[in-house]
Amino acid sequence: MNRKLNWIPNMITLGNLSMGFVSILIASEAVGNGPQSFVLAGFFILLAAICDGLDGMVARALDATSELGADLDSLADLTAFGIAPGYLFYTMILEEYKIDVFGKDDLFPIGMLIAAIFPICAAYRLARFNVAHDPSSFTGLPSPVAGVTIGFLPIFLGKDNMPHWITIPLFVVIAILMVSNVRYGKPQVAIRSKLTPGRGALMLAAALVLLFFIGFERWPWLVYGLICLYIFSGLITFLIHILQDLRVKLD
């Protein structure tokens, strides 16, 4: 372990946390700046996810992994993929949901309780991961995927085109998937085991060509499509395992 270089991946991890914090600040300014603030806040959650993917790669490449870095990563993930998406969704959708508690104008923002589900589930998932995890797969939806899923909603639907009867259940389902027992693969493990400098350059070139053809304005659709495919892959595998277990019990 190269302790002298620990600061490099740790700085990237702090960049993850900073992107999440900036997302919260931008979302808080959306009242005066309009729906574009929600789009920008979601984009910073994506930047946080990129930092989250880079810090581990850099730590392994430099042989600079550490327990401090692992704990710091969990705190950054909670901020960027738990608190930031929860606050963003609250300001976009849930802020208007209030109930009359004492019969006057004293309204309790019940939307806060729904919004709190996301950071609660993210915190539990990260704590469970730190205690025990399978090196070949994730138990529950990874928090960066969950955070980006919510962060990208304003990009596709817009503040004024979000049907609440779809977005609120989706918000709750994504949060619950983080703490579920649904297994999700680790694509980075398979890629890292087969990746060479030549293959890495080829993959980067292919990604740039693909980005050129789909257009820079349409790239979020590609990202969101891959995220949806990843989420449904875990659910389908989970259902297959349930059906197999039922078949074994019936036989």
Q: What is the CATH number of the domain that holds 82?
A: 1.20.120.1760
pLDDT value of position 76 = 94
In this predicted structure, what is the pLDDT of residue 77? 94
Residue at 219 is within a domain: no
Examine residue 240 and state whether it is found in any structural domain, yes or no: no
Backbone angles phi, psi at 100, to 5 degrees: -80, 115
Q: Beta strand pairing status for 137-139 and 107-108?
A: unpaired
Domain count, the chain: 1
* Radius of gyration of the chain from its Cα atoms, rounded to whole angstroms: 20
Report the predicted TM-score, pTM, of the whole model to 2 decimal places.
0.85
SS3 110: coil
Nearest CA to 52 out of 11, 12, 18, 7 is that of: 12
Give average pLDDT by consecutive 10-residue segment, the chain, 251 residues.
76 94 91 77 92 85 82 93 95 84 69 94 93 81 94 75 84 95 76 52 59 62 83 88 79 65
Task: With respect to residue 210, please indicate whether it lies within any of the assigned structural domains.
Answer: no
Residue with tokens 């969101």, as numbered in its chain:
224
What is the domain extent for residue 135? Answer: 3-194
The reply to whether 217 falls in a domain is: no
In this structure, which amino acid lies at residue 88?
A: L
Residue 124 lies in a domain: yes
In a domain, 200, yes or no: no
98 in a structural domain: yes
Angle between helices 67-78 and 143-151 (to 10 degrees): 30
The beta-strand segments (E) located in 140-231 are: 183-185
Does residue 140 belong to any structural domain of this protein? yes
pLDDT value, residue 25: 93
The position carrying tokens 């060479």 is: 196
Task: Give the pLDDT confidence score for residue 82 in this predicted structure.
Answer: 95
